[in-house]
Amino acid sequence: MAKVKNRIRSVALIAIGIAVCSILMALPDVRPSSADVPWPTPPPGPRPPVPRVETDIKPVNVPLVTGATSWVVHPLAALVPRFPPVPSSAFQSPDGVRIVSDAGSIDSTIQLVYKPVVVADAIAPGPGQQLRKVFDLIVFDHQANQITINLRRPWVLEVPIRGLIQSFEDPARLLIARYDEKRGWIPLVTSYYRDRGTLQTRVLRVGLFGVIAEPSVISG
Protein backbone atom coordinates (compact mmCIF):
# COMPACT_ATOMS: atom_id res chain seq x y z
CA MET A 1 0.00 0.00 0.00
CA ALA A 2 2.86 2.39 0.88
CA LYS A 3 4.53 1.67 -2.47
CA VAL A 4 1.34 2.64 -4.31
CA LYS A 5 1.13 5.94 -2.39
CA ASN A 6 4.78 6.76 -3.14
CA ARG A 7 4.26 6.01 -6.81
CA ILE A 8 1.19 8.26 -6.95
CA ARG A 9 3.12 11.04 -5.18
CA SER A 10 6.00 10.75 -7.65
CA VAL A 11 3.67 10.87 -10.64
CA ALA A 12 1.94 13.95 -9.19
CA LEU A 13 5.26 15.76 -8.66
CA ILE A 14 6.34 14.98 -12.21
CA ALA A 15 3.06 16.29 -13.57
CA ILE A 16 3.37 19.48 -11.56
CA GLY A 17 6.94 19.98 -12.80
CA ILE A 18 5.90 19.52 -16.42
CA ALA A 19 3.06 22.04 -15.95
CA VAL A 20 5.36 24.64 -14.40
CA CYS A 21 7.89 24.24 -17.21
CA SER A 22 5.16 24.66 -19.81
CA ILE A 23 3.99 27.89 -18.16
CA LEU A 24 7.51 29.31 -17.99
CA MET A 25 8.17 28.47 -21.63
CA ALA A 26 4.96 30.25 -22.63
CA LEU A 27 5.93 33.51 -20.86
CA PRO A 28 7.37 36.32 -23.10
CA ASP A 29 11.03 37.20 -22.95
CA VAL A 30 11.20 40.22 -20.62
CA ARG A 31 14.97 40.60 -20.60
CA PRO A 32 16.10 44.25 -21.14
CA SER A 33 17.12 45.00 -24.69
CA SER A 34 20.34 46.57 -23.46
CA ALA A 35 21.43 43.10 -22.36
CA ASP A 36 21.03 41.86 -25.94
CA VAL A 37 22.73 44.75 -27.77
CA PRO A 38 25.45 46.64 -25.82
CA TRP A 39 25.79 50.40 -26.26
CA PRO A 40 28.46 51.25 -28.84
CA THR A 41 31.57 53.01 -27.60
CA PRO A 42 31.44 56.65 -28.80
CA PRO A 43 34.33 57.76 -31.00
CA PRO A 44 36.86 60.17 -29.48
CA GLY A 45 36.08 63.86 -29.90
CA PRO A 46 37.99 66.08 -32.32
CA ARG A 47 41.43 67.03 -31.11
CA PRO A 48 42.01 70.76 -30.63
CA PRO A 49 44.37 72.39 -33.11
CA VAL A 50 48.00 72.72 -32.13
CA PRO A 51 48.54 76.27 -30.77
CA ARG A 52 50.59 78.56 -33.01
CA VAL A 53 52.84 80.89 -31.05
CA GLU A 54 54.00 83.63 -33.41
CA THR A 55 57.25 85.48 -32.75
CA ASP A 56 57.28 87.84 -35.76
CA ILE A 57 54.99 90.45 -34.23
CA LYS A 58 54.07 93.66 -36.05
CA PRO A 59 52.82 95.99 -33.27
CA VAL A 60 49.42 97.57 -33.69
CA ASN A 61 48.84 101.31 -33.51
CA VAL A 62 47.30 102.01 -30.12
CA PRO A 63 44.54 104.64 -30.36
CA LEU A 64 45.51 108.08 -29.06
CA VAL A 65 42.99 107.88 -26.24
CA THR A 66 43.77 108.23 -22.56
CA GLY A 67 43.92 104.81 -20.98
CA ALA A 68 44.21 102.87 -24.26
CA THR A 69 46.67 100.02 -24.34
CA SER A 70 47.48 96.79 -26.15
CA TRP A 71 48.71 93.32 -25.28
CA VAL A 72 50.20 90.42 -27.18
CA VAL A 73 48.22 87.33 -26.18
CA HIS A 74 49.87 84.00 -26.92
CA PRO A 75 48.00 80.70 -26.77
CA LEU A 76 49.11 78.68 -23.78
CA ALA A 77 50.70 75.48 -25.08
CA ALA A 78 49.57 73.48 -22.07
CA LEU A 79 47.37 70.45 -21.62
CA VAL A 80 43.94 71.77 -20.67
CA PRO A 81 42.60 69.81 -17.69
CA ARG A 82 38.95 68.81 -17.55
CA PHE A 83 38.47 70.47 -14.19
CA PRO A 84 39.72 73.78 -12.75
CA PRO A 85 42.13 75.27 -12.15
CA VAL A 86 43.13 75.90 -15.75
CA PRO A 87 46.44 77.59 -16.73
CA SER A 88 45.73 81.20 -17.64
CA SER A 89 47.22 84.61 -18.45
CA ALA A 90 45.91 87.88 -17.02
CA PHE A 91 46.02 91.38 -18.53
CA GLN A 92 45.02 94.65 -16.87
CA SER A 93 44.31 98.05 -18.37
CA PRO A 94 45.48 101.32 -16.80
CA ASP A 95 41.97 101.94 -15.40
CA GLY A 96 41.76 98.49 -13.80
CA VAL A 97 39.79 96.40 -16.32
CA ARG A 98 41.15 92.86 -16.06
CA ILE A 99 41.01 90.09 -18.66
CA VAL A 100 41.88 86.48 -17.89
CA SER A 101 42.57 84.18 -20.86
CA ASP A 102 42.49 80.46 -20.09
CA ALA A 103 44.58 77.88 -21.92
CA GLY A 104 42.70 76.59 -24.94
CA SER A 105 40.72 79.79 -25.53
CA ILE A 106 42.66 80.87 -28.66
CA ASP A 107 44.53 78.92 -31.34
CA SER A 108 47.21 81.41 -32.32
CA THR A 109 48.91 84.59 -31.19
CA ILE A 110 46.72 87.70 -31.25
CA GLN A 111 47.06 91.34 -30.30
CA LEU A 112 44.31 92.76 -28.10
CA VAL A 113 43.64 96.50 -27.94
CA TYR A 114 41.77 98.09 -25.04
CA LYS A 115 40.17 101.44 -25.90
CA PRO A 116 38.08 103.50 -23.47
CA VAL A 117 35.05 105.19 -25.06
CA VAL A 118 33.42 108.41 -23.91
CA VAL A 119 30.02 107.47 -22.47
CA ALA A 120 28.31 110.43 -24.16
CA ASP A 121 29.53 109.17 -27.56
CA ALA A 122 28.06 105.65 -27.10
CA ILE A 123 24.57 104.56 -28.08
CA ALA A 124 22.21 104.86 -25.13
CA PRO A 125 20.76 101.70 -23.55
CA GLY A 126 17.09 100.98 -22.85
CA PRO A 127 14.64 103.17 -20.95
CA GLY A 128 15.65 103.80 -17.35
CA GLN A 129 19.13 102.34 -17.87
CA GLN A 130 22.30 104.40 -17.57
CA LEU A 131 25.69 103.79 -19.11
CA ARG A 132 28.41 104.26 -16.50
CA LYS A 133 31.45 103.02 -18.46
CA VAL A 134 32.17 101.99 -22.08
CA PHE A 135 35.25 100.36 -23.58
CA ASP A 136 36.15 98.52 -26.75
CA LEU A 137 38.17 95.31 -27.07
CA ILE A 138 39.60 94.97 -30.59
CA VAL A 139 41.50 91.92 -31.89
CA PHE A 140 44.35 91.93 -34.40
CA ASP A 141 46.52 89.10 -35.67
CA HIS A 142 50.29 89.06 -35.21
CA GLN A 143 50.69 91.15 -38.38
CA ALA A 144 48.40 93.94 -37.10
CA ASN A 145 45.41 92.94 -39.28
CA GLN A 146 42.08 93.41 -37.50
CA ILE A 147 40.24 90.11 -37.23
CA THR A 148 37.12 88.60 -35.67
CA ILE A 149 37.44 85.58 -33.42
CA ASN A 150 35.18 83.32 -31.40
CA LEU A 151 36.86 82.16 -28.24
CA ARG A 152 37.06 78.41 -27.71
CA ARG A 153 36.86 78.92 -23.94
CA PRO A 154 35.35 81.97 -22.25
CA TRP A 155 37.49 84.81 -21.00
CA VAL A 156 36.91 86.30 -17.58
CA LEU A 157 36.20 90.02 -17.71
CA GLU A 158 36.47 92.05 -14.50
CA VAL A 159 35.57 95.73 -14.16
CA PRO A 160 36.18 97.77 -10.98
CA ILE A 161 33.16 99.75 -9.79
CA ARG A 162 35.16 102.56 -8.21
CA GLY A 163 33.91 105.82 -9.64
CA LEU A 164 30.94 104.16 -11.34
CA ILE A 165 28.46 104.28 -8.48
CA GLN A 166 27.48 106.62 -5.70
CA SER A 167 27.79 105.60 -2.07
CA PHE A 168 24.00 105.46 -1.65
CA GLU A 169 23.46 103.25 -4.71
CA ASP A 170 23.21 99.45 -4.69
CA PRO A 171 26.10 97.79 -6.60
CA ALA A 172 23.72 94.98 -7.55
CA ARG A 173 22.17 97.43 -10.01
CA LEU A 174 25.33 97.34 -12.14
CA LEU A 175 25.62 94.88 -15.02
CA ILE A 176 28.27 94.33 -17.66
CA ALA A 177 26.75 94.42 -21.15
CA ARG A 178 27.99 93.81 -24.68
CA TYR A 179 26.79 95.89 -27.62
CA ASP A 180 25.24 94.12 -30.62
CA GLU A 181 24.50 96.08 -33.78
CA LYS A 182 21.10 94.39 -34.21
CA ARG A 183 20.00 93.95 -30.60
CA GLY A 184 21.62 96.90 -28.87
CA TRP A 185 23.06 96.49 -25.39
CA ILE A 186 22.81 92.89 -24.16
CA PRO A 187 23.19 92.48 -20.38
CA LEU A 188 25.51 89.64 -19.40
CA VAL A 189 25.38 87.41 -16.35
CA THR A 190 27.33 89.52 -13.86
CA SER A 191 28.71 88.75 -10.40
CA TYR A 192 29.60 91.42 -7.88
CA TYR A 193 32.52 90.83 -5.50
CA ARG A 194 32.28 93.19 -2.57
CA ASP A 195 35.73 92.33 -1.17
CA ARG A 196 37.42 93.28 -4.47
CA GLY A 197 34.95 95.94 -5.52
CA THR A 198 34.61 94.41 -8.99
CA LEU A 199 32.02 93.15 -11.44
CA GLN A 200 32.80 89.91 -13.24
CA THR A 201 31.40 88.10 -16.25
CA ARG A 202 32.51 85.57 -18.86
CA VAL A 203 32.59 86.31 -22.57
CA LEU A 204 33.00 84.26 -25.72
CA ARG A 205 33.27 87.29 -27.99
CA VAL A 206 35.10 90.58 -27.85
CA GLY A 207 33.76 93.93 -28.96
CA LEU A 208 32.15 96.94 -27.34
CA PHE A 209 31.36 96.53 -23.63
CA GLY A 210 29.73 98.74 -21.09
CA VAL A 211 28.64 98.90 -17.48
CA ILE A 212 24.92 99.60 -17.22
CA ALA A 213 23.03 100.75 -14.12
CA GLU A 214 19.55 99.25 -13.98
CA PRO A 215 16.73 101.53 -12.77
CA SER A 216 16.19 101.44 -9.03
CA VAL A 217 13.04 99.86 -7.63
CA ILE A 218 10.67 102.43 -6.17
CA SER A 219 8.62 101.08 -3.30
CA GLY A 220 5.06 102.31 -3.13
Running along the chain, 220 residues long, what does each successive block of 10 average in pLDDT?
55 59 57 58 63 91 95 82 78 96 91 97 92 97 94 95 86 94 95 95 96 73
| pLDDT attached to residue 207 | 96
Angle at 192 between CA 186 and CA 196, to 5 degrees: 135
Cα distances (angstroms) measured from residue 107 to each of 70, 101, 110, 149: 19, 12, 9, 10
Alpha-carbon distance 60 to 140, whole Å?
8
Cα distances (angstroms) measured from residue 129 to each of 22, 156, 186, 192, 202: 79, 24, 12, 18, 21
Topology classification of domain 69-213: Chondroitinase Ac; Chain A, domain 3 (2.60.220)
Question: What is the model's pTM?
Answer: 0.74
Domain boundaries, the chain: 2-36, 69-213
Determine contact, residues 141/52, Cβ cutoff 8 Å.
Answer: no
Alpha-carbon distance 5 to 162, whole Å?
103
| Side chain identity at residue 11, one-letter code | V
Neighbour-count burial for 52-88, b at 16+ CB within 10 Å, e otherwise: eebeeeeebeebeeeebbbbebbbbeeeeeeeeebeb
